[in-house]
Amino acid sequence: MEQVGTSWPGAVELVVALDQPWADPTLPARVKSLAYPALVGDLAVGRRVWLNVSALSRGLGTGGYALVVAPADGQPVDPPPSPGHLVKARYTPLQAMVLGVDDQESEHHETMRDADDIAGLPVVVADLHSALPAIVAGARLAAERRGRPAPSVAYVMTDGGALPAWFSRAVAGLRDARWISTCITAGQAFGGDLEAVSVHTALLAARHVAGADLAVVVQGPGNLGTGTRWGFSGVAAGEAVNAAGVLGGRPVASLRVSGGDPRERHQGVSHHSLTAYGRVALVPADVVVPVFDADEPVLGPLGARVREQAAALVAPVGRHRLVEVPVEGDLRDALGGSPVRLSTMGRGLDQDPAAFLAAAVAGVHAMSLV
């Protein structure tokens, strides 16, 4: 290990020189790597480490990291004894044992044991991690417009992308800025402020433990897609809508919209949103459609296309409710004030404003339900 770089809660960047050559000689001899100290211990310059470079060698993986598996010249110090018996990333060599919010040893067990309803909690669902800061920006702006305090937001991270919440610099930055109050990791995901067995228990914890005004459910960074209708980890957004509805919440569907994606299937409303909300979500949700200025040369025509595509999801054709939210100038300003970088599939706010504005209006609408 040659260099210790930037760190944030739960993660640290390293530069590691490889002592075995790649099969492909064009790949670098020094690689940017990521370590999770809670799993592999604290590492100092000069330490030898084992790396997993499988995704890096294929050009995959958000951030382009090699991942530290373990020190090569010893072992991490055992963690101190702690309560909890939930195992996440189960039956992998780096499985983590955590204290679940509804664990018998948890201080919240009594509350969670009888919890069965989230009492109208607005739950915004999206399929890409990049939507998270935009949704929160919209919710905060809506509160400000009404002269209300900024909402308490619980982020429920599902396990379709990264499993450790520590991987997300967005979560770290949003928490530091107090844009989100709680990160709840559900399913196989771990490392949040609260650990949950399922999206259902995560939503119950958002309401009854975190006391959130608003929940946002979206997978961690690094989604998995195959270019097929069903082979996409974000399809689970439809299941999150179901969970919110079954528990008595107010599901809000954030559409994945793009005016900058070169792939036809993602232009306007992505086919993934049409699948997740149109075929997987079986309970009604508010489908929020941004209304752009019709005279705007790019966003105006895109907005018309988005509304036409969204019509397949809402009554009288589909089961959901159409909610149209005007995109006003202060919304883009609110996005520009995000404490974390806005980026979706490598495109920022200037390259693909529709992606972030569509997510932001879902946050705006959600605050009308609080």
Write out the chain's pLDDT in tens, 370 residues. 999 999 999 999 999 999 887 877 877 889 999 999 999 999 999 999 999 988 888 887 767 899 999 999 888 888 788 899 999 999 998 899 999 999 999 999 999 999 999 999 999 999 999 999 999 999 999 999 999 999 999 999 999 999 999 999 999 999 999 999 999 999 999 999 999 999 999 999 999 999 999 999 999 999 888 889 899 999 999 999 999 999 999 999 999 999 888 888 888 999 999 999 999 999 999 999 999 998 888 899 999 999 999 999 999 999 999 999 999 989 999 999 999 999 998 899 999 999 999 999 999 999 999 9
Question: What is the reported pTM?
Answer: 0.95
Residues in the chain: 370
Q: Which of 287, 359, 278 is nearest to 321 (CA)?
A: 287
269 HSE (CA, 13 A, CB side): 26
Q: Are strands 122-125 and 214-219 parallel, antiparallel or unpaired?
A: parallel
Asked if residue 321 lies in contact with residue 285, where contact means CB atoms within 8 angstroms, the answer is: yes
Q: What is the Cα–Cα distance from 97 to 254, expressed in whole angstroms?
A: 33
Asked if residue 331 lies in contact with residue 141, where contact means CB atoms within 8 angstroms, the answer is: yes
Q: What is the Cα–Cα distance from 191 to 183, expressed in whole angstroms?
A: 9
Tell whether the torsion through CA atoms of 324, 329, 331 and 336 is positive or negative.
positive
Residue 135 is which amino acid?
Answer: I
Q: What is the Cα–Cα distance from 352 to 337, expressed in whole angstroms?
A: 16
Residue 137: predicted pLDDT? 98
Residue 150: predicted pLDDT? 97
Asked if residue 125 lies in contact with residue 253, where contact means CB atoms within 8 angstroms, the answer is: yes
SS3 of residue 33 by DSSP:
strand
Strand partners, 13: 34
Q: What are phi and psi of 14, to 5 degrees?
A: -130, 160
Domains of the chain in start order, with CATH, are 3-71 (no CATH), 112-368 (3.40.50)
Residue 21: predicted pLDDT? 76
Could you tell me what percentage of the chain is helix, strand and coil, using 3-state DSSP and rounding each to the nearest 5?
30, 25, 45
Kindly report the number of other CB atoms within 10 A of residue 293's CB atom. Answer: 13
- Write the CA distances from 240 to 139, 197, 237, 315, 351, integer angstroms: 19, 14, 5, 20, 29
Asked if residue 188 lies in contact with residue 245, where contact means CB atoms within 8 angstroms, the answer is: no
